[in-house]
Amino acid sequence: MQRKSTSIRTTTVLFLMLASIASGALLAWPPSAAAQVPMAAFEPAFNRMQQAGPGNASAVDDAVDQFTKLVNLQPNDPVLRAYLGAATAMRATTTMLPWKKIHFAEDGLAQIDKALSLLGPGHDAAGYRGVPAVLEVRLVSATTFLRMPAFFNRGDRGRKLLGEVLASPLFESAPQGFRASVWLRAGGLAEEDRQLDQARQWYERAAATDTTYAATARGRLKEL
């Protein structure tokens, strides 16, 4: 009887030890790099972000609110954090108070820096809308950096990130709509630099697509 009781106690102790080890392993295991919120949650926030701009302050605020909620659900998702940063920085255009402009801009840039730091090998895989997270984060970051006033010193980094998107081996297999948006942004940058031949080439690529960006690209071509 004593031997049976000892055996039961030993088995129980081993079970508890294994359970503790397994629990610790689960807690220590890093979250999946590809963890995402459902598309049904992402799409409304993304669409509102597309409407955001200096002339639509309510869309900017809505985008910040929606992406804040999504980031709270998936704090290690670099795409969500990049969009939150972009929308937050855009809030600087919705106020006349200089101190608020600086606050929104710096807060947004900090979120984007965090998003870039979260990128890893797992983010090469197709993410939201089939776009690799690494490309989407870099494009959102580049676009925001290139729009910032010169005293923030983000222009060079923005150019570098945009170049990395265009040069990535993942770019050609990305969805057409994403590629068109990148070509349109590259065309705008080349036009700002007065490199009109290069701008025309980028716009022509975007204009040849069957996307919502094609009409904008054709309009820019007429202006060159």
**Residues contacting residue 34 through CB under 8 Å, at least 6 positions apart:** 122, 123, 125, 127, 133
pLDDT per residue over 16-30, tens digit each?
333 332 333 222 223
Supply 20's token pair.
Answer: 């503790």
> Residue 64 and residue 90: Cα distance in Å, rounded?
9
C-alpha angle 158-211-67 in degrees, rounded to nearest 5: 55
Residue 18 lies in a domain: no
Residue 8 lies in a domain: no
Residue 189 lies in a domain: no
Asked if residue 5 has pLDDT above 90, the reply is no
Residue 155 lies in a domain: no
Count how many domains the chain has.
1
> Residue 206 and residue 134: Cα distance in Å, rounded?
21
Residue 26 lies in a domain: no
Residue 178 lies in a domain: no
Asked if residue 12 has pLDDT above 60, the reply is no
Note the pLDDT of residue 13.
Answer: 35
Q: Which residue has the tokens 């060079």?
A: 156
Structural domain boundaries enclosing 96: 36-136
Residue 206 lies in a domain: no
pLDDT per residue over 52-102, tens digit each?
987 899 999 999 999 999 999 999 999 999 999 999 999 999 999 999 999
Note the pLDDT of residue 68.
Answer: 98
Residue 132 lies in a domain: yes
> Residue 132 and residue 142: Cα distance in Å, rounded?
16
Mean pLDDT, rounded, for 181-197: 97
> Residue 81 and residue 111: Cα distance in Å, rounded?
6
